[in-house]
Amino acid sequence: MKFTESERVQQEAEQYILGGVNSPSRSYKAVGGGAPVVMERGDGAYFYDADGNQYIDYLAAYGPIIAGHAHPHITEAINKAAETGILFGTPTKHEVTFAKMLQEAIPSLEKVRFVNSGTEAVMTTIRVARAYTKRDKIIKFAGCYHGHSDLVLVAAGSGPSQLGTPDSAGVPKSVAQEVITVPFNDIESFKEAVNHFSDQIAAVLVEPIVGNFGIVEPVSGFLEAVNDIAHANGSLVIYDEVITAFRFCYGGAQDMLGVKPDLTAFGKIIGGGLPIGAYGGRQDIMEQVAPLGKAYQAGTMAGNPLSMQAGIALLEVIKEEGTYDYLDRLGKQLEDGINALITEYEIPATINRLKGAMTIYFTTEKVTSYEQAENTDGELFARFFKLMLNQGINLAPSKYEAWFITIRHTEEDIKQTLLAVENSFKQLSL
Ligand code: PLP
């Protein structure tokens, strides 16, 4: 495969766009560098780059493209929406239809508000929780990404009783001091942090199923204990379902797992590929938000007609009977196939999979914590990534990301992917 046009575009991009990319995860820095492939068009499970190479896509734009690229129903909805005006700065019926659909799917959303990204959604839930509890600190879990607002770019201190430190230049120390970061799946550390900071804790922010150090499920009882301990302390529970909502079932991870947060943040899938975020939850908590309450959140683009209609169309598509069984079936085919190859070629790798989302870790142990994910072999992943790319299989360029299967992938695509995995493993084991 040749990538000369991608390389040329990337060189040009670097003259105008900082780092040549509009989001750092798009660069190939984490997989040894090189020009990222520049995509031109997508169709179902495939996309095509500027050199005309075809790929089976498992990036799915980091999650949103669960219905595949250019799904006809979603494309039609976007076209129709564009023809009737793309932004009014007034309420539209589409916002109401979509909010109702979300609430029917996820009953904890007594009230909802639309914003423009997952970052905004999470940032606002934290503000609302602070307004409601009149407390300032939050607890979050190590390795979980919640967007790029100051409060969530905070690294752990040296233990559960320690305040955080900035995890990005430009985040004030004073802001980091409002955040305590503890290990996911470690209820004792969480308990220690809550006991130590007790009436200062406004909320705990958690991805109910982790998607950002690979796919990691909560151990049995973890989320229930987080809820009980937080609530006994007068703190709120915020779920970040930016990745998980509508990913594993029609609704949130909260419905699938039978746990209920006070507030939830959304993004990605619910926009059908257009920019979106949403947050919502208990009526009495949401009443903190302007115009009813004193916590301010606004947006020129919030609830824009294009994203609303794309989101509605996407939900209509994935609500179809059998969506999640299909994703699970293909996910299992992929997982079983790779596991057999891991054994055959004696590759030090393990897989975490839930339905149509999966991560391959280059380690021999089952990964349940961020520490383990950090300790997996990044160099081996980088070699695997490039070998797969050169065979027309597009993965996220990071050992921490998931593979996402779409409803447009087929058994044949999985078989082709397994052939590429086999070739890659052969080369890795040389
Ligand atoms: N929360 C989670 C769990 C995410 O994975 C992400 C993005 O990857 C975000 C929040 C931020 O969303 P956005 O990139 O739309 O700002």
Residues 149 and 208 in one domain: yes
Looking at residue 60, which CATH number applies to its domain?
3.90.1150.10
**Domain edge (last residue) among 318, 334, 359:** 318
Number of folded domains in the chain?
Answer: 2
The closest-lying atom of ligand 1 relative to the alpha carbon of residue 267 is 15
Question: ipTM of the assembly?
Answer: 0.99
Q: Are 107 and 256 in contact (CB under 8 A)?
A: no
Its domain, for residue 328, covers: 4-70+322-428
What is the band of 156 on the pLDDT scale with cuts at 50, 70, 90? Answer: confident
Residue 157, pLDDT score? 81
Residues 244 and 131 in one domain: yes
Residues 78 and 200 in one domain: yes
Residues 66 and 89 in one domain: no
Q: Is 183 in the pocket of ligand 1 (CB under 6 A)?
A: no
CA 287–ligand 1 middle distance (angstroms)? 25
Residues 163 and 278 in one domain: yes
Residues 312 and 362 in one domain: no
pTM over 0.90: yes
Q: Is 267 in the pocket of ligand 1 (CB under 6 A)?
A: yes
Q: Are 98 and 313 in contact (CB under 8 A)?
A: no
pLDDT tens digits along 353-376: 999 999 999 999 999 999 999 999
CA 329–ligand 1 middle distance (angstroms)? 27
**Domain edge (last residue) among 286, 318, 350:** 318
pLDDT tens digits along 201-239: 999 999 999 999 999 999 999 999 999 999 999 999 999
Residues 152 and 221 in one domain: yes
Which of 23, 126, 209, 243 for a ligand 1 pocket mutation test, highest count of atoms within 8 Å of Cβ?
243
Residues 16 and 98 in one domain: no
The closest-lying atom of ligand 1 relative to the alpha carbon of residue 122 is 10
Q: Cα–Cα–Cα angle for 176, 179, 185, nearest 5°?
A: 135
Which of 65, 115, 119, 264 for a ligand 1 pocket mutation test, highest count of atoms within 8 Å of Cβ?
119
**Domain edge (last residue) among 318, 337, 353:** 318
Residue 361, pLDDT score? 98
Residues 22 and 100 in one domain: no
Question: Average per-residue pLDDT in the chain?
Answer: 97
Looking at residue 150, which CATH number applies to its domain?
3.40.640.10
Please, how many CA atoms are within 13 Å of residue 216, restricted to the half-sphere of its CB?
28
Contact residues for 17 (Cβ-Cβ < 8 A; gap 6+): none
CA 119–ligand 1 middle distance (angstroms)? 6
Residues 155 and 216 in one domain: yes
Q: Is 353 in the pocket of ligand 1 (CB under 6 A)?
A: no
Q: Is the pLDDT of residue 269 over 90?
A: yes
Residues 334 and 418 in one domain: yes
The closest-lying atom of ligand 1 relative to the alpha carbon of residue 268 is 15
What is the band of 158 on the pLDDT scale with cuts at 50, 70, 90? Answer: confident
CA 337–ligand 1 middle distance (angstroms)? 30
DSSP bridge pairs for 57: 394
Residues 304 and 192 in one domain: yes
CA 212–ligand 1 middle distance (angstroms)? 9
